[in-house]
Amino acid sequence: MHTVAIVALEGVVPFDLSIPTEVFGRVRLPGGGAGYQVRVCGVTPEVHAGAFRVKTHHGLGALARADTIVLPGIADVSAPFPPQLLKALRAAARRGTRIASICSGAFILAATGLLDGLRATTHWMGTEELARRHPLIQVDPNVLYVDNGQLLTSAGAAAGLDLCLHLVRRDHGSAVAADAARLAVMPLERDGGQSQFITHAPPSPEGASLEPLLRWMEDHLHRPLTLPALARKAAMSERTLSRRFREQTGTTPLQWLLRARVRRAQHLLETTGRSVEAVAQEVGFHSPTTFREHFQRFVTTSPLAYRRAFRGAARLSAGGRSAPPPGGAPRRRRAAS
């Protein structure tokens, strides 16, 4: 029997705790037997979990007898992690135990040092903070999960389902995993990564010297904006503009423009019934093929798949042609990490 130990710390995210408990607990093998034995463990016998408290039946000693350890997300990643838990996780890794994290549980796994030199992910709102705290980890903000073999990490919320179903498929094959996915009312594989859910803020602070130019670019995305044209608009040389762009946005004028166009296209795909070709033209991609390539690059899914996932958030006007908001793409505040 494959034993899964799920660690419930103080402030555990209830949804993240329930995902592995339900997915692994309901897996049935072809003969009808259970695929896993699930144990919820804690440093203390009772933990606070948001709106309620959770009593755990097992202590950290159960980690020594587990085949897989799952670290659900916690509400406060700034709180110190129990040293005895970090020690137990390092010992489990030395024994070859598989360890997986869901959402902000990646911060716990990262604190052990086990992820150093490896690729990992977490909820998109926490990827910058994870990378800042642990510069040796290659943090990927775009994917639903990362499988390094023994160590796995997933993005937030529903991405924990993707990770758990992936583990079931690794352990018992696609047929068993497909049955588990049906029970969870979840596709076995989802299109794209978590980059399609990220809210991108304008990458320049208010008051920065390039802010007027960036706002003007957002309002004229449909035009063929070249570097010489932008330099003339900003009244500076192309070399100076490129240097200022790098200093203030961390990227080049072309890359900033491409991301702004894709961001605008996401809004149009969500809120209008215009064809993909029409959206491409409106945001400045005069080739639908080029548009699809850049959209796939930044959002990791196709425009049509994105529309299927996010259409309906706003009521369309008659004929499916709702008017875009004045001033170009919607201004969104940066989400806190």
Catalytic residues: 103
- Three-state SS for the chain is CEEEEEECCCCECHHHHHHHHHHHHCCECCCCCECEEEEEECCCCEEEECCEEEECCECHHHHHHCCEEEECCECCCCCCCCHHHHHHHHHHHHCCCEEEECCCHHHHHHHCCCCCCCEECCCHHHHHHHHHHCCCCEECCCCCEEECCCEEEECCCCHHHHHHHHHHHHHHCHHHHHHHHHHCCCCCCCCCCHHHHCCCCCCCCCCCCCHHHHHHHHHCCCCCCCHHHHHHHHCCCHHHHHHHHHHHHCCCHHHHHHHHHHHHHHHHHHHCCCCHHHHHHHCCCCCHHHHHHHHHHHHCCCHHHHHHHHCCCCCCCHHHCCCCCCCCCCCCCCCCC
CA distance 200 to 258: 13
**Across the strands, what pairs with 146?**
153
The set of residues, in sequence order, having a beta carbon less than 8 Å from that of 283 and lying 6+ positions away, is 221, 222, 261, 262, 264, 265, 268, 291
Q: Distance between the two ends of the chain, CA-based, in angstroms?
A: 39
